[in-house]
């Protein structure tokens, strides 16, 4: 069983995967290849001079994998509540998870199917978002949302930060205490 299955491996999902895996949590990212970031050219992301969207998505997945996150390809078809978590089923396989993070960008069909509360989007051209609290929790205990699907701006810097925030909150809940991850400069 995974501690966290992340649906979507764009900036929000990969950022969450990096944080959760680095915290020692068994983490899986499921990538459908549909990230709108794959169509972007990015020059407004802090710390990055410029990068293509496809390169950013691949770099994010590599960073998460560096810390032990597993990456699976596939389109998630359902998320079903189980006794001690969820069964996440994709067109490529099924996975058990304690927590699930929706990082599906503009795609809200899975959120509707799962039954989390959705509301009209607030960003231009974003029709539907998942309603979350300040910690990224949805209306279904154990299911979280981050990035554009959670009402954040489509800018990669914003969605990546929201994914990291969600992962910190999930890791904190799993640990039973606030999780903080800081490196110090090596001398």
| Residue-wise burial string across 92-121, b where 16 or more C-beta atoms lie within 10 A, e elsewhere | eeebebbbbbbbbbbbbebbeebebebeeb
Q: Are residues 66 and 27 in contact, defined by beta-carbon separation less than 8 angstroms?
A: no
Query: What pLDDT does 42 receive?
Result: 80
Q: What ranges do the domains of the chain cover?
A: 2-175
26-51 per-position pLDDT tens digit: 999 999 988 887 777 888 888 888 88
CA torsion angle for 158, 29, 171, 44 (degrees, to 10)? -20
The model's pTM is 0.94
**Quick one: which H or E segment has residue 98?**
strand 93-102
Positions of the chain with pLDDT lower than 70, given as ranges: none
């Amino acid at each position: 069983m995974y501690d966290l299955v992340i649906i979507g491996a764009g900036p929000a999902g990969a950022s969450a995967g990096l944080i959760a895996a680095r915290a020692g949590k068994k983490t899986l990212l499921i990538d459908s290849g549909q990230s709108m970031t794959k169509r972007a050219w990015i020059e407004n992301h802090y710390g990055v001079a410029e990068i293509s969207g496809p390169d950013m998505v691949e770099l994010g997945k590599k960073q998460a994998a560096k810390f032990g996150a597993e990456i699976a390809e596939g389109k998630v078809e359902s998320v079903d509540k189980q006794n001690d978590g969820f069964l996440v089923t994709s067109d490529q396989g099924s996975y058990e998870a304690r927590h699930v993070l929706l990082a599906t960008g503009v795609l809200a069909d899975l959120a509707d199917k799962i039954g989390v509360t959705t509301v009209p989007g607030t960003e231009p051209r974003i029709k539907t978002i998942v309603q979350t609290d300040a910690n990224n929790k949805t209306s279904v205990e154990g299911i979280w949302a981050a990035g554009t699907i959670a009402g954040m701006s489509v800018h990669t810097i914003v969605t990546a930060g929201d994914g990291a925030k969600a992962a910190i909150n999930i890791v904190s809940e799993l640990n039973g205490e606030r999780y903080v991850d800081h490196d110090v400069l090596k001398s």
